[in-house]
Structure 1
Amino acid sequence: MDSGLGYLAVVLAVVLFSMTFHEAMHAFASNWLGDDTARQEGRLTLNPIAHIDPLATVLLPLLLAALGAPPFGAAKPVPFNPSRVRYGEFGAALVGLAGPVTNLVLAFLGFVVLALSGFVSNWFGGLLQVFILVNLAFFVFNMIPLPPLDGSRLLYAIAPDNIRQIMVTMEQYGIYLILIIVLLFNAQLGQFMQSAIGSILNLFKVVVGV
């Protein structure tokens, strides 16, 4: 698929779909584990309007796609109270993992369809390739153990109290911290993303047998 307006439109559609499922699964996981904060605030839904952040969900992935980089981004964080979920910090880690793992599963399903369909050279194949790339980019980026990204929930579960306090302070700056990191370390982040996505795709090939 080319890198023109058509490609950007496909990226935006895939981002909205994938990020909606990502955030909704955070909400479903927290609700299932006993915290109804997300449900009370209207986030237990597949309506993308409830989850979109104009900068991180729309502008950031479109800008990265236009530059030829893996189009990753974020959305409005799903609110939940770690002290109300079952299993303490490990329950909170499950809530954090629910979003990126959803993206990983979506990418794998897209890869299976692409591998079995034979439609690699037409528009459907191009759409599937974008779908796989976007979901893997969301998975890799959000698994970075840096607040407020989802991977930080795993670090919360095992980190000592003094490290947790630093992480809580970092999390207060939320989406702005993410944007600053992307701007300052764009080249290094892009190389890391490309390498990680390539490794996961190789694993997919082994699993599917292609």
Structure 2
Amino acid sequence: MDFLSEINWGEQIVLLAVLFVSISFHEFSHGWAASQMGDDTAEREGRLTLNPLSHIDLYGTIILPIALLLFSGGNFVFGWAKPVPYNPYNLRDQRRDPALVALAGPASNIFIAVVAALVFRFLPDTTASLNEFLIIVFYLNFFLALFNLIPLPPLDGSKILAAILPEAGRRVFETLERIGPIFALLILFFILDIIAPFLNMLIEGAFRFLTGV
């Protein structure tokens, strides 16, 4: 396994840490949005917290990200946190509010990405190491946001789309939701190769627009 010696482990630890915090904030945002719309499930179960340890999913937060880093030679990482629970029947508007709860996750990643880009732009005297860190934060969070907006279960985009679908369409999405993790992996390893150039174009364009480089 000579390729392991070629991986910059310091950089990969930073990448894993950024991923861990970003997906935890993503899940917290789902719970916070639900709480603002009438559901306190996340709070009652101790999940309405920014503590990343509360959001660990053994497979999605630990095993998969580390495996992807190893098998990609340190070039790619992805993962997810344990989904924050909420009861859609407690929401005030049971058609609109689930979409807003779903949107809160990607919106939180966009927020983090924008903050990182603005710090990069308006603090030009920062060190090269900090600039590299900010770029990692931006690219990873923008990717997480775009990926989660893909309108296929169990991703957030499917819940947003379901809000405007007729009842039959929503039932199809609910059925697919039950095979969520498997479906997500199929998206990741097969569909992502097709749409990766488009995602990269959007991320690059957003970075250049926000940073002015």
- The residue number in structure 1 matching 2:3 is none
CA distance in 1, matches of 2:197, 2:58: 25
- The residue number in structure 2 matching 1:25 is 29
- The residue number in structure 1 matching 2:188 is 182
Q: Contact 1:146–1:152 at 8 Å: present in 2 too?
A: yes
- The residue number in structure 2 matching 1:127 is 133
TM-score by length of 1: 0.87
From the superposition, tell whether residues 190 and 106 of structure 1 become closer, same or farther in structure 2 (CA, over 3 Å).
farther
- The residue number in structure 1 matching 2:151 is 145
CA distance in 1, matches of 2:200, 2:107: 14
Decide which moves more: 7-16 or 79-88: 79-88
Structure 1 segment 107-122 matched on structure 2, within 5 A? 107-118=113-124, 122=128
CA distance in 2, matches of 1:190, 1:120: 35
Q: Contact 1:70–1:194 at 8 Å: present in 2 too?
A: no
Q: Contact 2:114–2:210 at 8 Å: present in 1 too?
A: no
TM-score by length of 2: 0.86
Indicate the SS of the match to 2:150.
coil
- The residue number in structure 2 matching 1:203 is 206
Q: Say what the alpha-carbon RMSD is for the aligned residues.
A: 2.2
CA distance in 2, matches of 1:96, 1:209: 31
Give the aligned residue type for 2:34: S
Q: Which runs of 4+ in 1 moved over 6 A?
A: none
- The residue number in structure 1 matching 2:170 is 164
Tell me which of 7, 16, 19 is aligned to 2:20.
Answer: 16
Indicate the SS of the match to 1:88.
coil
From the superposition, tell whether residues 204 and 21 of structure 1 become closer, same or farther in structure 2 (CA, over 3 Å).
same
Unaligned runs of 5+ in 1: none
Q: Contact 1:27–1:44 at 8 Å: present in 2 too?
A: yes
* Total equivalences in the alignment: 206
Structure 1 segment 3-82 matched on structure 2, within 5 A? 3-66=7-70, 67=72, 70-82=76-88
CA distances 1:96-147 after superposition (whole Å, capped 9, x unpaired): 0101110011001101111223367721111111111111111011111111
Give the aligned residue type for 1:150: D
Decide which moves more: 163-172 or 64-73: 64-73
- The residue number in structure 1 matching 2:98 is 92
Q: Contact 2:42–2:48 at 8 Å: present in 1 too?
A: yes
Give the aligned residue type for 2:94: G
CA distance in 2, matches of 1:209, 1:201: 11
CA distance in 1, matches of 2:81, 2:22: 11
CA distance in 2, matches of 1:137, 1:145: 15
Indicate the SS of the match to 2:96.
helix
Give the aligned residue type for 1:61: P
Q: Give the share of equivalent positions with the same residue, in percent.
A: 39
Q: Contact 1:69–1:190 at 8 Å: present in 2 too?
A: no
